[in-house]
Amino acid sequence: MTRTAWSRLTLGLLLFLLISIVCSVVIIDPFEIYHEALFYIPPIDNGTQNYSNAGIAKSYDYDSVVIGSSMTENFSTKLLDAQLGGSFVKLPINGGSPFNHKQMMDLAFSTHDVQRILYGVDVEALTYFYKTPKCEMPEYLYDDNLLNDTQYWFNMSVLGKFLPRCLATLGQSDPDLRDTMYNWGDLYDYGREAALRGIRINGKTIPQKEQAPVLSQQSRLNVEHNYLPYIESHPETEFLFFFPPYSAAMWYRFYTLGDLDYHLAQKEALTEILLQYDNVKVFDFQARTDWILDLNNYIDASHYGPWINDAMTMHIARDEYRVTDTAVISANNDVIRALVGDIVACGAWPDAFPSAVTD
């Protein structure tokens, strides 16, 4: 064989290999960037979330979206569909910032006619920088630039791990995947020991940062850049914001950092702004004493079981625990402060909370 023939053969084989790799990734498409999985079970789990969300947002059929952190991962889309109407998908970013959630809304609104957004608001996340992600995202999967998809086609994890994982489930399907994706409710232990792990309770009085119910600069930038543009640009979309029910232990943790009053003030200031829009509803579950004082609902100080997500769905569908003015938020915040005061006064997790009210 001449050198020319050998060079042509080698180049042809290399080109064939590259085309075969690209075709394999595009046809099987582990993260569903080009099409929804039809003949295998896609590798959707908490470890692939930042990749899987791109395909879910682009390729699934839906008109409603769940946005938020791990506080939203245990929602049942079947229950949301039945109680709120529409067809929901979940696009959470575990530990994400408002900018990360903005990225999810960008992709959802650019590819679908979104009728409803259910948005879980973590007040602490308002302190994150407003124009950079807290969780790094594979931008090449979220844009429309086909050229940078080479990072997907020739990704060693995709080729060595996720393609084989898909091929192992050829011919299979999971009809409940949309409903159960990202759920972690049955993976952890619940109860007092789990919820108080890492928290040392004592009776020490800790000064709190003084804060009027006005957005801080960082909170304001997050609201102006990552919340309001979507509310204002999509008046036909209903935005259902809710404050998730962290346990009282979490609020005590904020107290030990001196941040309790600050976070509660930011919550009140944010609510005042959101209530100005006709396409927004706000729900506050943070003063549900029957939930937040029962540590059997929690795997740690903040994360609650899926039965709480189901209950919130039902309440939202019935317009219960809806906030119609900031006086409601202020009263709920006073409940939280009083419960933290009970913990401080006791110097331990109390057997009974004098400030607790019956919901």
pLDDT at residue 257, as a whole number: 95
| pLDDT tens-digit series, residues 62-111 | 999 999 999 999 999 999 999 999 999 999 999 899 999 999 999 999 99
pLDDT at residue 1, as a whole number: 65
Give the strands of the sheet with 280-284, arranged side by side. Answer: 88-90, 64-67, 116-120, 238-243, 280-284, 322-323
| pLDDT tens-digit series, residues 296-334 | 999 999 999 999 999 999 999 999 999 999 999 999 999
Which pTM does this prediction carry? 0.93
Identify the three-state secondary structure at position 95.
Answer: coil
Mean pLDDT of the chain: 94
359, pLDDT greater than 80: no
Give Cα separations from 53 to 22, 107, 157 (angstroms). Answer: 21, 10, 17
Count how many Cα atoms sit within 13 Å of the Cα of residue 1 in the half-sphere of its side chain: 8
Phi/psi at 322 (nearest 5 deg)? -80, 140
Average pLDDT for 283-293: 97
| pLDDT tens-digit series, residues 190-232 | 999 999 999 999 989 999 987 788 999 999 999 999 999 999 9
| pLDDT tens-digit series, residues 2-55 | 777 766 777 877 888 888 888 999 999 999 999 999 889 999 988 899 999 999
Give strand pairing partners of 66.
90, 118
Distance from C-alpha of 169 to C-alpha of 171, rounded to nearest angstrom? 6
Ranges of each domain in the chain: 1-184, 190-205+232-359
Distance from C-alpha of 134 to C-alpha of 104, rounded to nearest angstrom? 13
344, pLDDT greater than 80: yes
pLDDT at residue 358, as a whole number: 54
Identify the three-state secondary structure at position 117.
Answer: strand
153 vs 15, which has greater pLDDT?
A: 153
pLDDT at residue 8, as a whole number: 73
Confidence of residue 132 (pLDDT cuts 50, 70, 90): confident
